[in-house]
């Protein structure tokens, strides 16, 4: 059973537009939600993360919106840049020591100049 | 600063042959260590994690095994490779004891099984 689901599978936006990447999860014990981005032939790197005590986390052009009741979150990338083109993974970890991380299947984002 | 190094960078192996991939973390004592597998264009599947030397927990069975012989070293191995083992293997670490949950990935090892 897929614990973390992402949509869309791929997304194309024009430079300057806002890209919205969606994520949902099953397990209510999840309490840490990092987003990782991965460029071709590179390993994933942490982009931004949120815990359920907040419903919003901002870091520059990247914002996570979190809805605990619906078990959904989304990553908004404002003023998208061609350099933002990458695969974005939503992940989740339960509040039992963070030994297990569950990743979604990823959203491939392409930003057209 | 902490560094994580994986070896080899890439391997081409025959079905049925053995495999050993390694990972070393420098600059961090007693980290939590993880092995992840990623099929080409796919998601990250956690394989193993370890919170201390000699202790490894399996998350999913893929005919692979892992060991942590030293505090800073994590080894992934199998005696017989399958075609389905092809992919990108990523070692990662996180802070142990009071773990914040942040994962730091190594540069990965690309495995092609023919």
Helices marked H in B37-101 — which ranges? none
Structure tokens at A15: 């430079």
pLDDT higher than threshold 60 for residue A81: yes
**What average pLDDT does this structure show over B21-42?**
91
Rounded Cα distance between B96 and B43, Å, is: 25
| Residue B96 pLDDT grade (very low, low, confident, very high; cuts 50, 70, 90) | low
Of B44, B51, B106, which to mutate for an interface test with A (greatest number of A Cβ within 10 Å)?
B44
Cross-chain residue pair B105–A49, CB shorter than 8 Å? no
Q: What is the pLDDT of residue A94?
A: 84
Cα angle A24-A86-A48, degrees, rounded to a multiple of 5: 55
pLDDT > 80? residue A93: yes
Tell me whether residues A101 and B45 touch, CB distance under 8 A. Answer: no
Tokens of A87: 């695969």
Q: What is the pLDDT of residue B103?
A: 87
Res. B101: pLDDT tops 80: no
In the prediction, which pLDDT does A60 show?
A: 97
For A97, the domain range is: 4-112
- The closest alpha carbon to A35, from A76, A2, A80, belongs to A76
Residue B21 has pLDDT above 80, yes or no: yes
Look at B1 and A39; give whichever has higher pLDDT: A39
Residue A75 has pLDDT above 80, yes or no: yes
Higher pLDDT pick, A60 / B98: A60
Number of domains within chain A: 1
Higher pLDDT, A83 or B28: A83
CA distance A35 to A58: 12
Q: Residue B98: what pLDDT?
A: 54
CB–CB contact A98 B43 (8 Å): no
In whole angstroms, what separates CA A113 from the centre of its chain?
Answer: 22
- Determine the distance in angstroms separating the CA of B41 from the nearest CA of chain A, rounded to an integer: 9
Burial of B99 (0-12, 13-18, 19+ CB in 10 A): middle
Write the CATH number for B56: 2.60.40.10
Cβ contacts of B101 on chain A, cutoff 8 Å:
32, 34, 49, 93, 98, 101
Distance of CA A18 to CAs A84, B5, B99, Å? Answer: 11, 36, 33
Host domain of residue B57 = 3-113
Domain count, chain B: 1
Q: What is the DSSP letter of B9?
A: S
- Rounded alpha-carbon distances, angstroms, from residue A53 to A65, A66, A91: 12, 10, 17
- Under an 8 A CB cutoff, do A101 and B100 touch? no
Residue A91 has pLDDT above 80, yes or no: yes
A–B: how many Cβ contacts below 8 A? 55
**Nearest-CA distance A49 → chain B (Å):** 9
Residues 6+ apart with CB under 8 A from B99: A97, A98, A99, B32
φ, ψ (nearest 5 deg) of residue A83 = -70, -10
Q: Which of A95-104, B16-25, B38-47, B67-76 has the lowest mean pLDDT?
A: A95-104
């Amino acid at each position: 059973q897929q614990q973390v689901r992402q949509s869309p599978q791929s997304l194309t936006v024009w430079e300057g537009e806002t890209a919205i990447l969606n994520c949902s999860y099953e397990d209510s014990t999840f309490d840490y939600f990092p987003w990782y981005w991965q460029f071709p032939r590179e390993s994933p790197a942490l982009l931004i993360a949120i815990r359920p005590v907040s419903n919003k986390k901002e870091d520059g052009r990247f914002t996570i919106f979190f809805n605990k009741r619906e078990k959904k979150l989304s990553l908004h990338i404002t003023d998208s840049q061609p350099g933002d083109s990458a695969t974005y993974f939503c992940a989740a970890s339960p509040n039992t020591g963070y030994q297990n991380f569950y990743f979604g299947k990823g959203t491939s984002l392409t930003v057209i100049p | 600063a902490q560094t994580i190094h994986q070896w080899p960078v890439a391997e081409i192996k025959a079905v049925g042959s053995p495999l050993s991939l390694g990972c070393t973390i420098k600059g961090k004592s007693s980290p939590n260590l993880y092995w992840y597998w990623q099929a080409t264009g796919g998601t990250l599947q956690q394989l193993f994690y370890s919170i201390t030397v000699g202790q490894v927990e399996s998350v999913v069975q893929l005919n692979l095994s892992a060991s942590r012989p030293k505090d800073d070293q994590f080894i992934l191995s199998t005696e017989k490779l399958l075609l389905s083992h092809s992919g990108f293997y990523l070692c990662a670490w996180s802070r142990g004891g009071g773990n914040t949950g942040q994962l730091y990935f190594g540069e990965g090892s690309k495995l092609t099984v023919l």
